[in-house]
Amino acid sequence: MTIENLSANKSFGGWHKQYLHSSSVLNCPMRFAIYLPPQASSEHKVPVLYWLSGLTCTDENFMQKAGALRIAAKLGLAIVAPDTSPRGDEVPDDEAYDLGQGAGFYVNASEAPWDQNYRMFDYVNTELPAIIESTFPVTNQKSIAGHSMGGHGALVSALRHSSQYRSVSAFSPIAHPGDCPWGRKALSAYLGKDRGQWTQYDAVQLLCDQRDCLPALVDQGQDDEFLVEQLKIDVLESVVNNNGLPINIRRHAGYDHSYYFIASFIEDHLTFHAEHLGLL
């Protein structure tokens, strides 16, 4: 596996770098970003937090807007941010912002024309970690987090691969995609009309039958314009409370769906993961 370094910027004593590689899972070139804190070296490997971004985003949004690099440098935590979907002229797309390129929803598509490229679940949980761990000075200890569509992806990844991650967190996640407009549109396109196939990518559905899960932190802004119709946090909270699950759901008055919200509480999330990764 060869990867091409596209950029490198020193930041808080560490390095933020972008890379391009050919993905065998997605059948197209893919870009990702990695922040390596100053503690990372060939003699000292560091754990990794994988960050999954939301609709319309790329690897750049979180790295540039969240204010996470200063905290990661202090903690000794690497951060990896993949793109949100396969991309390219040969990759299927849709005119709408909530389907196609930029809107992979972190699922393995089974319906044409999406099934040849849109296998983001396997990319995030299998192919990309293998590349990261074989290329950079990191351990195999990892946690996962995300925002909105990426919060959905992080929760589902952690629930289905609980042995792979130490902890999970999310900002404003699409918690119940099987019952919201964004989710119904994407899941029916990528997976077909059989709603039974949707369950494996729905955090609320996955949690209904569970009595245990990874340590989890969820932050939600109360002034989020998508809160009621799209995110379904109330449903998530109800399942969590009924099953006594170790998921801390925090609500914040006045905050919306933007990176202003993420930047306000990102230190809490990185510290939460650092504790479960043994850094604190």
pLDDT along the chain (280 residues), means of 10: 94 98 98 98 97 98 98 98 97 98 98 98 98 98 98 98 97 98 98 96 94 93 98 97 94 98 98 98
> Is 59 one of the catalytic residues?
no
Query: Which pLDDT score, from 0 to 100, does residue 277 have?
Result: 98
Residue 208's φ and ψ, nearest 5 degrees, are -60, -35
Q: What is the pLDDT of residue 162?
A: 95
CA-wise closest residue to 66 among 169, 215, 153, 141: 169
CATH number at residue 265: 3.40.50.1820
Q: 148, 157, 167, 169: which one is catalytic?
A: 148
∠ CA 97-180-171, nearest 5°, is 75
Is 147 an active-site residue? Answer: no
E strands along the chain, which residues? Answer: 3-11, 14-23, 28-36, 46-52, 78-82, 138-147, 168-171, 216-221, 247-252
Domain extent at residue 20: 3-276
Cis peptide before 82 (omega within 30 of 0): no
Looking at residue 211, its pLDDT comes to 79
> What is the predicted pLDDT for the residue at 178?
97
pLDDT at 1: 67
Q: How many domains does the chain have?
A: 1
Q: Any catalytic annotation for residue 234?
A: no
Q: Which position among 224, 269, 273, 276 bears the catalytic label?
A: 224
The pLDDT, as a whole number, for residue 65 is: 98
Coil, helix or strand at residue 153:
helix
**Inter-residue contact 149 to 143 (CB < 8 Å):** no
